Amino acid sequence: MAVFTDVASLIPTLGERLGEGASLVEATAVMVGMSDADVVAVLRQASEVSRLADQIRVVAAGVVADRSTRQTGHSGLAQSQGHRSPASFVQEVTGSTKGEASRDVRVGQALLDGQRDAGDAGAGSDAGSGADAGAGAEGGADAGAGADAGAGANGRPEVPVVWHAPLNAALAAGTLTTAQYDAIRRGLGDRPLRAACPMTSVSRSVPRSIGRGVRRGRRRLCS
């Protein structure tokens, strides 16, 4: 999903419906005179913009937390702004509650973990390809054995996948809200990588409307 492309396509559409440059009072007057179908369309489009902006906000909160660790000391991003914790800084910037800011930080860090994991997987895949090519060039048994060491079923190195990767995908697809994502992830806690499918308990414990996406993610993670 191209987040910025989607936002960029929705803003002009809303502008056309409500009048570009219109104040809230003016936009309200326009919506009062709209047909039912147009009001519903505005509601849907505004909700989608909000959802996509939420995703951007939580990732930014995660980056703030990454740059505000204990190791960074007073030079950390949040600390340099006079805050003891990243959640406190996020709360001030966004105007949210303490609980909402803390949730944004948790979800943002989890999404960053997934992003880093995906990068490691790509690097592992490239390393596997290089090892295979090296083994072919050498043509020796020792080279072949070295390439296979630590390799997965496809002959490439096994790269661990964070257990909540399916949740990340569900959040990006809009199947889960930030609050639902956080509730599920906190309810399960930290799980070992590729254990006896932690997503099984997720799919059984969430409402059916949410669970479909999680169950699809479980199949991808645990197959």
- 209 by DSSP, 3-state: which? helix
Rounded Cα gap, residues 154 and 141, in angstroms: 19
- pLDDT score recorded for residue 164: 76
pTM for the model stands at 0.65
Which is nearest to 190 in space by CA: 164, 172, 159, 168? 164
Helix %, strand %, coil % for the chain, to 5? 75, 0, 25
pLDDT at 187: 81
Which of 119, 87, 91 has the alpha carbon at shortest distance from 106?
87
Q: What is the pLDDT of residue 155?
A: 55
pLDDT, tens digit (0-9, with 9 covering 90-100), for 39-63: 999 999 999 999 889 999 999 999 9
**27 neighbors 35 (Cβ within 8 angstroms):** no
Residues of the chain with pLDDT under 70: 1-2, 4, 117-162, 189-223
Contacts of 215-220 spanning 24+ positions with Cβ under 8 A: 216/166, 217/165, 217/166, 217/167, 217/169, 217/170, 218/166, 220/165, 220/166, 220/169
97-127 residue pLDDT tens: 999 999 999 999 988 987 776 665 555 555 5
pLDDT number for residue 79: 95
Residue among 177, 186, 185 at smallest CA distance from 210 = 177
**In residues, how long is the chain?**
223
Look at residue 93 in the predicted model and tell me its pLDDT: 96
| Chain position carrying tokens 């960029």 | 8
So what's the pLDDT on residue 39?
A: 94
Q: Is 67 exposed, middle or buried (CB count within 10 Å of its CB: 0-12, 13-18, 19+)?
A: middle
